[in-house]
């Protein structure tokens, strides 16, 4: 069984928001759109987004870490948002595990969003239906696109390639390898939702210096110490006559 | 997507200056999707937040679409306009400018902002004959360009960068986003994934710094001290690359240290047979340690001393330049720097050791044979894998030039210049130190009805290159290339308005501003600059009589225009990112690129390029008309194809597919099919140098000959690193009255003598020197948000949701002391002004620093935002507390708040205090301005909501 | 959570309707065993059913305001296997229907003898009443479980949630029944009044129990588990949307902690203390108008209670949306 998902590498995410707006532009004119915007040029502009990047500060100065944290629907393996939906509009696809909303069935009761602990669903205030990340279903299977581009818009956009896309059930997929080898973890594991999306933690490269690395025979300063004495300088010869 | 009406077109992004290749999908003529072009060498398919929001720029209600004339009787700033036709606009401009050109061309000034067509705008100014031209460089990062180009013949910024593919240790200093946005992000993540170690030196930890393995918070304006201490420690521990220094820099060259000599501090030169006629004879001396005597540099078999003091046969006392550097940094110990920078001495030491040890022990060897200019053959290219990158955190301080010199020297002593894993040049760099172009050097360069007698911007090599009159006073309106800022190689745009308003050095008549928001975020002292733009003399005439603004949006600046020229967007025009300007070259060779329209212009919008060509033709500027005075170019695309720098030179704006059939590059006859060829090739032309020409280019015989052959550089002489800067010493000598030729005015002698130190030194930023640091204990800086470009993007419905307003970020410690809480309204006050804003506590900022995102705050009503929009009510502009001039002091009354060497605007020098706003005060940003009106021609109405779907509008 | 008025009215109004129906049926049950007698049975039961229906329809109406697409509401009946909301959507109309039938039987006085045995009249209405009671409790369960089943809304995820929905609805229904009896069956005032007092007191006990439980609740999700970073000092600096988003609107009450606290005391006083006092006072003085007042106050209290019920629930998604 296939379970498509994103793996987000916090080790390289610089918080640029490329995944946020590339998602918006692809999806607003796509099958999951439009993604409406309210007060786009007024006070407190707000709109529907499938993906947001947040920033957290960890620790205190000077040992502060700044963590940029992108989040979209995690396509949970056991998605609590699905069974609660009274209309069947929310569903999880058998073939690839993508959790979707059928806009034609949705009554906009918002109940599924209450049942998502991650805040991954957003109601469209104008279309009045629940929306969320679709894993770009309308891209990833589109045979008209070149193979390399059959990936979610956010994945293609991400300048640091912090967003990996693939089948987390295939142990040999790039995403599974990354989860296994780089310490990938799910969010809020305490609820048993088994998010398919995983996050890769920060990893630090450190350097250790050994004392003796600072003293070396080939130290260039040694070359400067060698100085041919001036012939005017006193020599032993000048003082002895044996 | 309906197949029939879906098209995909390639062009180049311009949501920022990075210039990524993009693929635009259109649905029924409307932009559906903008993606990174996977076949583009720069961004390799990725795209950023701004680039992905191009749709909201294209269809923004802030767009202006008609030429407009200020309504008679209305005031500047009121934004009351009437529509006129393009023909009327051209007639108006041609008459006014024609008159100026015939009488006094310098009364016309052209200043441009973050544009990418300085080759054309600069050429237009030169053809017109005015010296008063500059682009954003002076208020942007000229310190970065000058500091490094005067040292290694190349620089960061758009001229070179870190080779992160091969580096093992990467040190990023004072960089938040930078111009090379996407490529840097691509490289940074690859570097980290390959196990490289990344250290960021920055008062603030956001963005790139967030993913650094180590963050070294530093007090703003003190990097010079850190870098000097690193040099000190690197030399003291012998962690420098001796071989690299002796061969490729002037470190071993002997300097005259007889204090009484007129050429004190200059290199000893010997003339030998064969030197005659050489423009740059290699006639300096080394002291050979094998034979203990002076020899000409690069004498075969010689090995020079880097340290010591020697006496030449004629009794002249000399020292190798490196010894001068050692003397200079003697007291710059890590302990000394710790006090200034706030970084513990031990950390400074280990930092130096890390760099030195990685550079020494992880040497890279590439099996690439190459030959240096002295004829030595090398079996391999080697490199020390320590890479640096730095930007405005260093540049935007008044001590930035010397700080950046120190950085370039540190990079050089570690042996990392144009070598794998270190710093790499991008064509057309490296260039000679300094590069060849020069401005006229006196008033004779400016004549009625004639092109300017030199370049409007150039690279002075000595005091005689300054652009000053007989009294040593400035000729340019911004006082660039004068004794006040001798190496102001990019001009001082930030002082142009103030100087013109004051009539100092003279009043001007017409100021033309292209793509620069001078009434807001790109001016210092914004509130007063707005008043100056609106100020009148006793006769009721505006002090700056005529103001032409070419913009694409309803920016704050447009409100002040007498004549508004509506520009196209980047999706609507042809553009050229030319080798004559700042191309998008890669490390391995030159690359240039173009824009090709993907949608037709909106309304009456006309590309500024077309405006210049039409205006140049009407004014009969020589480059735009035939000898008979007839139109030479149909339009801009035609101009690009057919223009040659000189008749038959074969050099034009585009380097690719030259020659009749497109078979040549760099040089060749015009090719009528050039645009089509670019279009077929993703809008870029890329040339890969042979591997053996890709490294060590300052000294690489093959490369230098190739570059000369293709007219990238004039000479094939080696470009030796200036550890010791003779150029600076010449200015210092002039100030001491010892240099034949131009002399500074008395009032500036001391200033020149102090700051033109041939070796880097640390001094407190000028503003700090002149302010009461007890009263203003904090430094205030700005950073670029990755998702916004200067002021452009507040009109962008998607991007403004990410940054609707900005906060002042500061250490919780300050709140505790000042009695205010996270989220409170506070005043941030400098000696020049104050701003009310909201604060947010942050643990990711050095406690002596406060910071905010740049240019998020907006004037009410501008950018088609409602008067209640967050940007003007909660957002704020730090520029109100930054001054364009220093307080009057011994060196002068109206000196620019800039680096005394380059005139670089000292944005990040400002000292402030922060205190809680009073309980009765409005919860609103201060200062506030009368809301700007919507203007005629803003055809798209801002809606209360929308759900954008491409192609919908055109469906009936 | 953001207390949506549509949901507040939906749950409180149908609660009253359900409670009132239970009151009617309790009276029928008692009278069937001759423990009490209702003089104007036809008027009382049919009128009572009508009032219950008014409340139920009021709640139903309010619920439509909660839906983005009420015209598709029928679809909500399809997922009864998994969704408590879907079950409620099925049970509520069923209950309404039963109440309607119940009232109609009385109104039309159509009460055939179903068995040959010599049982008293009213067998059919009694059976319908039994069915109504079962469905009524099912409805309480569904409504309560809509909230109670979401495990990470820990304030709600307890049997106390459906229990309190049941008790509060029943208590308020009985209070209303007492008031209603004043005009149609004054002989039942005491009967309903006393039961209302008892139910209100029992409801108070469980509601306070829930408050105490929630006071001591330990949230399982923390910022640490939310973003997967182990550190005891984590602070959000940016949410990625400065003008707010669905996530900042739907899950925050947007009021201060002090406001929340006063709301708590307000609902306790209005739902429990004052109604009990008024009921006792009314019964002891015979001033029947106080009965109506008792219901009015209790209903206000329930609105406050429901507001508080929502506001108090801390959704783990808020960890990602910590508004300044
Ligand atoms: N998204 C986006 N990209 C842009 C732009 C934009 O507006 N938006 N603008 C473009 C332009 S015109 C430019 S010039 C470049 C500029 O690119 P950057 O140079 O990256 O620009 P700044 O944001 O000014 O970053 C300055 C950094 O220096 C730090 N800093 C300030 N003072 C000091 C100091 O004394 N020492 C050290 N070590 N650090 C210091 C600040 O905290 C900040 O992180 O970006 C370009 N790219
Ligand atoms: N406080 C503070 N101030 C700063 C800085 C800082 O770090 N801190 N950084 C400085 C630096 S480095 C720079 S480079 C400047 C940037 O300053 P500017 O170059 O002035 O930058 P912008 O605000 O981006 O834009 C200029 C104008 O270009 C217009 N524009 C956008 N697209 C087009 C187009 O296609 N055609 C035309 N004709 N116009 C267009 C916009 O509407 C806007 O009015 O800001 C400087 N100001
Ligand atoms: S695009 Fe990539 S780097 Fe940028 S915020 Fe999203 S995940 Fe992070
Ligand atoms: S993240 Fe939320 S919306 Fe997505 S599948 Fe999981 S529970 Fe459902
Ligand atoms: S909002 Fe739509 S998708 Fe969500 S539970 Fe209700 S009907 Fe289902
Ligand atoms: S996968 Fe597609 S829908 Fe989901 S966040 Fe990425 S771009 Fe948006
Ligand atoms: S980095 Fe600049 S040029 Fe590249 S996609 Fe982003 S906005 Fe466009
Ligand atoms: Mo800049």
pLDDT cut 90: percent of chain B above it: 96
**Backbone dihedral region of A233: left (phi > 0), alpha (psi from -120 to 50 degrees) or beta?**
beta
Q: Which of B496, B457, B514 has its CA nearest to residue B93? A: B514
DSSP assignment of B232-260: HHHHHTT-S-HHHHHHHBSTTSEEE--TT
Q: How confident is the model at residue B1 (pLDDT cuts 50, 70, 90)?
A: very low
Rounded Cα distance, B824 and B375, in Å: 67
Between B5 and A96, residue with greater pLDDT? A96
Is the pLDDT assigned to residue B148 strictly greater than 80? Answer: yes
pLDDT at C188: 93
Rounded Cα distance, C261 and C253, in Å: 13
Query: Hey, what are B203's tokens?
Result: 């008062």
Pairwise CB contact (< 8 Å): C243 & A44: yes
Atom of ligand 3 nearest to the CA of A157: 1
pLDDT at B281: 81
Rounded Cα distance, B520 and B858, in Å: 8
For residues B235 and B332, the answer to whether their CB atoms sit within 8 Å is: no
Residue of chain B whose alpha carbon sits nearest to that of C238: B802
Could you give the ipTM of this predicted complex? 0.96
Phi, then psi, of C146 in degrees rounded to 5: -55, -40
Q: Which of C130, C61, C121 has its CA nearest to residue C102? A: C130
pLDDT (tens digit per residue) in A27-68: 999 999 899 999 999 999 999 999 999 999 999 999 999 999
Residue of chain C whose alpha carbon sits nearest to that of B844: C237
Rounded Cα distance, A28 and C184, in Å: 60
The closest CB to that of A87, out of C79, C150, C247, belongs to C79
The closest CB to that of A55, out of C79, C238, C316, belongs to C238
Pairwise CB contact (< 8 Å): C317 & A17: no
For residues B410 and B233, the answer to whether their CB atoms sit within 8 Å is: no
Is the pLDDT assigned to residue B490 strictly greater than 60? Answer: yes
Q: What is the mean pLDDT of residues B876-888?
A: 97
For residues B656 and B685, the answer to whether their CB atoms sit within 8 Å is: yes
Atom of ligand 1 nearest to the CA of B779: 32
Chain B nearest C-alpha distance from C246 (Å): 13
Rounded Cα distance, B69 and B81, in Å: 5
Pairing of strands B285-288, B293-296: antiparallel
Residue C172: is it exposed, middle or buried by C-beta count within 10 angstroms (0-12/13-18/19+)? buried
For residues B443 and B416, the answer to whether their CB atoms sit within 8 Å is: no
Alpha carbon B248 to chain centroid, angstroms: 27
pLDDT at B274: 79
Residues of chain A found within 8 Å of residue B43, distances taken between Cβ atoms? 159
Cβ of B171 below 6 Å from ligand 1 = no
Alpha carbon B702 to chain centroid, angstroms: 30
Number of C-beta neighbours around residue B488 at 10 A = 31
Is the pLDDT assigned to residue A227 strictly greater than 60? Answer: no
pLDDT at C122: 73
Is the pLDDT assigned to residue B352 strictly greater than 70? Answer: yes
Pairwise CB contact (< 8 Å): B213 & A205: yes
pLDDT (tens digit per residue) in B232-271: 999 999 999 999 999 999 999 999 999 999 999 999 999 8
For residues B669 and B698, the answer to whether their CB atoms sit within 8 Å is: no
Cβ of B131 below 6 Å from ligand 1 = no
Residues of chain A found within 8 Å of residue B946, distances taken between Cβ atoms? 36-37, 40
Pairwise CB contact (< 8 Å): A86 & C245: no
- Who lines ligand 5 at CB under 6 A? A 85-87, 89-90, 101, 106-112, 130
Q: What is the mean pLDDT of residues B764-780?
A: 95
Chain A nearest C-alpha distance from C111 (Å): 38
pLDDT (tens digit per residue) in B782-808: 999 999 999 999 999 999 999 999 999
The closest CB to that of B842, out of C237, C242, C324, belongs to C237
Chain A / chain B CB contacts < 8 angstroms: 253
Cβ of B391 below 6 Å from ligand 1 = yes
Q: What is the mean pLDDT of residues B819-827?
A: 97
Residues of chain A found within 8 Å of residue C235, distances taken between Cβ atoms? 56-57
Is the pLDDT assigned to residue A230 strictly greater than 70? Answer: no
What Rg, from alpha-carbon coordinates, does chain C have?
A: 22
pLDDT at C324: 59
Rounded Cα distance, B758 and B321, in Å: 10
Residue B657: is it exposed, middle or buried by C-beta count within 10 angstroms (0-12/13-18/19+)? buried
Cα–Cα distances (Å) from A44 to B399, B868, C107, in that order, read 41, 9, 56
Residue of chain C whose alpha carbon sits nearest to that of A15: C240
Rounded Cα distance, B218 and A62, in Å: 11
Q: How confident is the model at residue B181 (pLDDT cuts 50, 70, 90)?
A: very high
Residues of chain B found within 8 Å of residue C324, distances taken between Cβ atoms? 822-823, 840
The closest CB to that of A188, out of C235, C247, C316, belongs to C316
Q: Which of A3, A7, A72 has its CA nearest to residue A35? A: A72
Instruction: Give me ligand 8 centre to Cα B113, in Å.
Output: 9
Rounded Cα distance, C200 and C215, in Å: 22
DSSP assignment of B518-559: TTTTTSSSHHHHHHHHT-B-TTS-BSS-EEEEEESB--TTGG
Number of C-beta neighbours around residue B38 at 10 A = 16
Cα–Cα distances (Å) from A241 to A234, A238, B527, B762, C176, in that order, read 14, 8, 88, 56, 133
Residues of chain C found within 8 Å of residue B822, distances taken between Cβ atoms? 324
Pairwise CB contact (< 8 Å): C76 & A53: no
Rounded Cα distance, B689 and B686, in Å: 10
Cα–Cα distances (Å) from C139 to B824, C11, C64, C87, C128, in that order, read 48, 10, 17, 8, 16
Residue C207: is it exposed, middle or buried by C-beta count within 10 angstroms (0-12/13-18/19+)? buried
pLDDT (tens digit per residue) in B444-469: 999 999 999 999 999 999 999 999 99
Pairwise CB contact (< 8 Å): A107 & C67: yes
Q: Which of B767, B160, B131, B736 has its CA nearest to residue B488? A: B131
pLDDT at B828: 98
Q: How confident is the model at residue B2 (pLDDT cuts 50, 70, 90)?
A: very low
Q: Which of B466, A83, B76 has its CA nearest to residue C81? A: A83
Q: What is the largest CA-CA distance in chain B?
A: 92
Residues of chain B found within 8 Å of residue A66, distances taken between Cβ atoms? 205-206, 209-210, 844
Rounded Cα distance, C194 and C302, in Å: 20
DSSP assignment of B301-330: T--B-SS--EE-TTS-EEEEHHHHHHHHHT
For residues B387 and B423, the answer to whether their CB atoms sit within 8 Å is: yes
Query: Hey, what are B187's tokens?
Result: 């490289």
pLDDT (tens digit per residue) in B656-694: 999 999 999 999 999 999 999 999 999 999 999 999 999
Return mean pLDDT, chain A: 94
Return mean pLDDT, chain B: 96
The closest CB to that of A123, out of C227, C246, C321, belongs to C246
Is the pLDDT assigned to residue A88 strictly greater than 50? Answer: yes
**Where do the DSSP E strands lie in chain A?**
4-9, 37-38, 46-47, 51-58, 65-72, 90-92, 99-101, 122-123, 130-131, 163-167, 198-200
pLDDT (tens digit per residue) in A111-131: 999 999 999 999 999 999 999
Q: Which residue is closest in CA terms to ligand 3's atom 4?
A: A16
Rounded Cα distance, B551 and B565, in Å: 6
Is the pLDDT assigned to residue B327 strictly greater than 80? Answer: yes
- Whose tokens are 């918070």? That residue is B217
Q: What is the pLDDT along chain C (324 residues), one digit of tens a residue?
A: 999 999 999 999 999 999 999 999 999 999 888 888 888 888 999 999 999 999 999 999 999 988 999 999 999 999 999 999 999 999 999 999 999 999 999 999 887 777 766 666 678 889 999 999 999 999 999 999 999 999 999 999 999 999 999 999 999 999 999 999 998 889 999 999 999 999 999 999 999 999 999 999 999 999 999 999 999 999 999 999 999 999 999 999 989 999 999 999 999 999 999 999 999 999 999 999 999 999 999 999 999 999 999 999 999 999 999 875
Q: What is the mean pLDDT of residues B161-176?
A: 98
Cα–Cα distances (Å) from B731 to A22, A117, B753, in that order, read 52, 67, 8
Pocket test for ligand 3, best of A9, A26, A68 (most atoms within 8 A of CB): A68
Q: Which of B669, B595, B457, B556 has its CA nearest to residue B931? A: B556
Asked if omega into B447 is within 30° of 0 (cis), the reply is: no
- Among the residue ranges A200-204, B876-880, C2-6, the one predicted with the least confidence is C2-6
């Amino acid at each position: 069984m296939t379970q498509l998902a994103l793996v987000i590498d916090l080790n390289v995410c610089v918080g640029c928001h490329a995944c946020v707006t590339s998602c918006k532009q692809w999806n607003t004119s796509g099958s999951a759109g439009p993604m409406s915007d309210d007060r786009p040029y007024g006070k407190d502009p707000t709109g529907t987004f499938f993906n947001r990047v947040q920033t957290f500060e960890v620790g205190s100065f000077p040992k502060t870490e700044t963590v940029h944290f992108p989040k979209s629907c995690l396509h949970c393996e056991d998605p609590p948002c699905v069974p609660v939906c009274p209309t069947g509009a929310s569903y999880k696809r058998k073939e690839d595990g993508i959790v979707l909303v059928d806009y034609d069935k949705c009554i906009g009761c918002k109940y599924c969003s209450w049942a998502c602990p991650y805040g991954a669903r957003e109601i469209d205030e104008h279309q009045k239906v629940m929306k969320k990340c679709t894993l770009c279903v309308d891209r990833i299977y589109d045979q008209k696109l070149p193979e390399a581009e059959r990936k979610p818009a956010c994945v293609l956009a991400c300048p640091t390639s912090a967003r990996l896309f693939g089948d987390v059930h295939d142990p040999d997929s790039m995403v599974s390898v990354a989860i296994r080898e780089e310490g990938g973890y799910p969010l809020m594991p305490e609820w048993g939702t088994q998010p398919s999306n995983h996050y890769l933690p920060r990893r630090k490269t450190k350097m250790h210096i050994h004392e003796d690395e600072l003293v070396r025979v080939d130290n260039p300063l040694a070359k400067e110490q060698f100085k041919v004495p001036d012939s005017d300088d006193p020599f032993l010869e000048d003082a002895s006559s044996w | 997507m309906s197949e029939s009406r879906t098209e995909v077109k390639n062009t180049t992004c311009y949501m920022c200056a990075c210039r990524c290749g993009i693929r635009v999908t259109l649905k029924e003529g409307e932009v559906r999707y903008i993606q990174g072009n996977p076949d583009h060498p720069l961004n390799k398919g990725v795209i950023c937040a701004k680039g992905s929001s191009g749709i909201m720029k294209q269809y923004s209600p802030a767009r202006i679409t008609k030429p407009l004339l200020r309504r008679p009787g209305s005031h500047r700033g009121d934004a009351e306009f009437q529509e006129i036709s393009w023909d009327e606009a051209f007639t108006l401009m041609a008459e006014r400018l024609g008159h100026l050109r015939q009488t006094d061309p310098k009364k016309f000034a052209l200043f441009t902002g973050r544009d990418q067509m300085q080759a054309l705008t600069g050429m237009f100014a030169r053809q017109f004959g005015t010296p008063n031209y500059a682009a954003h460089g002076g208020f942007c990062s000229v310190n970065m360009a000058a500091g490094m180009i005067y040292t290694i013949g190349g620089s960061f910024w758009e001229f070179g960068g870190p080779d992160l593919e091969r580096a093992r240790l990467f040190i990023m200093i004072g960089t938040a986003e930078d111009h090379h946005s996407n490529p840097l992000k691509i490289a940074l993540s690859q570097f980290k994934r390959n196990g490289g170690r990344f250290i960021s030196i920055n008062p603030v930890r956001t963005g790139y710094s967030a993913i650094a393995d180590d963050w070294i918070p530093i007090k703003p304006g003190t990097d010079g001290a850190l870098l000097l201490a690193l040099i000190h420690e690197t030399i003291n521990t012998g962690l420098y690359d001796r071989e690299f220094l002796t061969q490729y820099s002037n470190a071993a060259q002997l300097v005259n240290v007889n204090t009484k000599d007129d050429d004190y501090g200059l290199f000893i030169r010997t003339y030998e047979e064969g030197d005659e006629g050489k423009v740059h004879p290699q006639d300096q001396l080394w002291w050979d340690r094998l034979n203990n005597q002076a020899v000409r540099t690069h004498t075969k078999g010689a090995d020079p001393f880097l340290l010591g003091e020697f006496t030449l046969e004629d009794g002249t006392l000399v020292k190798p330049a490196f010894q001068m550097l050692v003397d200079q940094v003697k007291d710059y110990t890590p302990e000394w720097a710790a006090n200034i920078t706030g970084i513990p001495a031990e950390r400074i030491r280990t930092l130096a050791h890390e760099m030195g040890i990685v550079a020494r022990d992880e040497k890279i060897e590439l099996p690439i044979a190459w030959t240096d200019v002295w004829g030595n053959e090398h079996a391999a290219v080697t490199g020390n894998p320590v890479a640096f990158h730095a930007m405005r955190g260093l540049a935007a301080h008044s001590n930035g030039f010397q700080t950046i010199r120190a950085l370039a020297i540190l990079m050089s002593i570690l042996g990392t210049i144009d070598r794998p894993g270190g710093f790499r040049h991008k064509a057309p760099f490296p260039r000679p130190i300094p590069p060849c172009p020069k401005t006229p050097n006196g008033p004779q360069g400016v004549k009625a009805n004639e092109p300017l007698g030199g370049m409007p911007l150039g690279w002075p090599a000595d005091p005689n290159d300054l652009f000053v009159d007989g009294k040593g006073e400035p000729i340019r309106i911004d006082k660039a290339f004068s004794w006040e800022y001798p190496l102001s190689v990019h001009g001082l745009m930030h002082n142009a308005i103030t100087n013109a308003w004051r009539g100092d050095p003279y009043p001007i008549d017409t100021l033309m501003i292209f793509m620069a928001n001078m009434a807001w975020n790109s001016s210092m002292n914004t509130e007063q600059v707005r008043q100056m733009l609106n100020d009148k003399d006793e006769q009721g005439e505006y002090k700056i009589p005529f103001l032409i603004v070419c913009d694409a949006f309803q920016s704050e600046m447009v409100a002040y225009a007498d004549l508004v020229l509506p520009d196209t967007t980047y999706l609507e025009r042809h553009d050229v990112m030319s080798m004559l300007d700042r191309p998008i070259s890669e490390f391995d060779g030159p690359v240039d690129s173009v824009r090709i329209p993907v949608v037709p212009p909106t309304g009456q919008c006309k590309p500024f390029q077309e405006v210049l060509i039409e205006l140049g033709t009407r004014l009969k500027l020589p480059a735009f008309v035939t000898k008979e005075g007839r139109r030479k170019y149909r339009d801009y695309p035609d101009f690009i194809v057919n223009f040659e720098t000189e008749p038959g030179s074969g050099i034009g704006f585009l380097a690719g597919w030259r020659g009749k059939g497109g078979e040549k590059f760099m040089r060749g006859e015009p090719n009528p099919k050039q645009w089509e060829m670019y279009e077929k090739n993703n809008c870029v032309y890329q040339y890969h140098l042979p591997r053996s020409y890709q490294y060590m280019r300052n000294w690489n015989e093959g490369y230098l000959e190739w570059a000369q052959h293709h007219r990238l550089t004039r000479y094939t002489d080696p470009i030796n690193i200036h550890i010791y800067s003779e150029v600076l010493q010449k200015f210092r000598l002039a100030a001491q009255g010892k240099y034949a030729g131009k002399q500074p005015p008395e009032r500036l002698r001391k200033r020149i003598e102090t700051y033109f130190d041939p070796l880097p030194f640390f001094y407190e930023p000028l503003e700090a020197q002149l302010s009461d640091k007890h009263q203003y204990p904090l430094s205030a800086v700005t950073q670029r948000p990755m998702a916004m470009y200067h002021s452009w993007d507040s009109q962008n419905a998607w991007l403004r949701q990410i940054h609707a307003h900005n906060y002042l970020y500061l250490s919780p410690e300050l709140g505790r002391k000042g009695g205010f809480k996270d989220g409170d309204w506070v005043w941030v006050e400098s000696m020049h002004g104050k701003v009310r804003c909201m604060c947010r506590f942050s643990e990711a900022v050095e406690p002596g620093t406060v910071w905010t995102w740049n240019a998020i705050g907006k004037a009410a009503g501008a950018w088609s935002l409602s008067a209640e929009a967050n940007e003007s009510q909660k957002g704020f502009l730090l520029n109100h507390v930054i001054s364009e001039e220093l307080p009057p002091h011994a060196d002068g009354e109206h000196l620019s708040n800039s680096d005394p060497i380059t005139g670089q605007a000292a944005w990040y020098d400002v000292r402030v205090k922060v205190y809680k706003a009073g309980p009765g005060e409005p919860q609103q940003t201060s200062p506030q301005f009368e809301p700007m009106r919507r203007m005629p021609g803003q055809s798209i109405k801002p809606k209360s909501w929308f759900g954008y779907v491409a192609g919908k509008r055109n469906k009936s | 959570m953001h207390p949506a008025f549509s949901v507040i009215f939906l749950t409180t109004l149908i609660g009253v309707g359900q409670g009132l129906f239970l009151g009617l049926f309790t009276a029928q049950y008692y009278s069937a065993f001759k423990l009490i007698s209702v003089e104007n049975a036809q008027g009382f039961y049919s009128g009572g059913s009508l009032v219950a229906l008014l409340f139920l329809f009021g709640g139903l109406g309010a619920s439509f305001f909660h839906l983005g697409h009420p015209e598709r509401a029928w679809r909500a009946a399809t997922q009864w296997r998994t969704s408590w909301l879907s079950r409620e959507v099925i049970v509520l109309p069923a209950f309404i229907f039963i109440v309607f039938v119940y009232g109609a039987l009385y109104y039309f006085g159509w009460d055939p003898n179903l068995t040959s045995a010599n049982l008293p009249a009213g067998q059919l209405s009694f059976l319908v009443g039994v069915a109504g009671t079962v469905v009524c409790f099912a409805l309480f369960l569904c409504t309560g479980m809509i909230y109670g089943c979401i495990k990470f809304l820990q304030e709600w995820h307890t049997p106390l949630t459906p229990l309190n929905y049941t008790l509060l609805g029943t208590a308020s229904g009985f209070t209303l029944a007492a008031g209603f009896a004043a005009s149609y069956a004054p002989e039942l005032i005491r009967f309903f009044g006393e039961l209302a007092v008892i139910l209100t007191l029992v409801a108070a006990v469980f509601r306070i129990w829930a408050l105490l439980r929630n006071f001591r609740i330990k949230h399982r999700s923390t910022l640490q588990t939310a973003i997967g970073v182990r550190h005891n000092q984590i602070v959000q600096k940016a949410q990625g949307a400065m003008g707010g988003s669905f996530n900042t609107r739907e899950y925050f009450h947007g009021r201060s902690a002090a406001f929340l606290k006063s709301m708590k005391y307000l609902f306790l006083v209005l739902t429990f203390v004052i109604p009990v006092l008024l009921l006792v006072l009314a019964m002891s003085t015979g001033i029947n108008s106080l009965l109506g007042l008792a219901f009015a106050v209790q209903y206000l209290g329930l609105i406050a209670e429901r507001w508080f019920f929502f506001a108090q629930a801390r959704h783990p998604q808020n960890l990602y949306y910590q508004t300044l």
